Every structure is written in structure tokens, then in C-alpha cells.
Homo-oligomer: A and B are copies of this chain.
């Protein structure tokens, strides 16, 4: 199962949950709104849309929708979520496992937290946190191990990475606290 493609599926379904959209705009949203997919290309998006169509999770919106400009010729295909698509999205949103703790996966899941149950939100936030703490341990161990043969710049890069990760962890901790408050 192609992990990256699954994530893209999830992201597209999530965006279409808000409002119907055509490919070009989907790409723009994917490139900005979500942290992952900073450089998603059409070479991935259009095949994905076709696949989602084939599975019946999205359909071409027939009338009414109207983008900002409507000309004469056929073009501009607006997609909308089907009932099956909504169900599929929810299934994915409700699932929290190690796979949701990667850099890109976490961002996408987080972006759709508004449609995710509190318990699942908590598990994902905590899983992500421990993933980052593992990374931190590796970074620290490596920087001790190679302390001597490291020049100032390499050290600075390492330290900077370490600090960014630490800040990320603190951010997560705030979110976890807030989430616990909600639950209670």
C-alpha cells in the first residue's frame, strides 16, 4: 500500500469536506494550508483524483457550483465528496497509530482535528511527541559521539535542529494540556 498516496487521499477528502473544488485550487490549498505537500505536483494530484473518482469517494459536481469566472468552453471540473467519501474520510480521521506520527502525516491529521474525536486527537498528539523525543535522543547521542571532530558550523546546524525540535515538543505539550482540559 503506497503510504504517500494514502496520505494524499486523506488530505484531498479532507479539503473537499469543507467545500467542492477543482484540481487547480486543491493543489494550491494543499501547498499552503497543510504543512506537508509543500511541493505537490499535478503528476501526483490528477492520478489521485482519478483514483478517488473510481472508488466512488468523490464525484464531478454537476451544476450550480460556479467558480469565480465561468466562460463558455468545457473545462474546470469541480469535485465534491460523496456519502461514501465522507465515511472513508471519517474512518481515516478516527485512526491513530504510529503511521500518524511522521512529519507529514501529523500535519495532515492535525489540519483536520476539527473533525477528529478528542480521544484520537490526544493519542496523535502524544504519539507525535514521543516520536520527536526519540529523534531528540538520537540527535543528542550523535552530537556527543562526534563532539571532537565537529567544526563550529556543523555544531551550529546540529544545535539549531535540536532547538527546533525542542520547541516543537513544547508546542505539542501546550496542545496536549489544552486537549486534556477539553476532555474533562
Contacts and interface: CB of A to CB of B under 8 A. Distances in A.
A151 B19 CA distance: 13
Contacts of A153: 110-114
Nearest to A174: B156
Given A157-B107, A160-B171, A171-B160, A151 B32 contact: no
A176 to B, nearest CB: 13
A138 interface: yes
B32 A142 contact: yes
Contact of A32 (B18, B34, B110, B138): B138
Nearest to A114: B151
A154 to B, nearest CB: 5
Contacts of A160: 171
Interface string A146-169: 100101111011101100100100
Contacts of A158: 33
Interface string A59-79: 000000000000000000000
A48 interface: no
A109 to B, nearest CB: 10
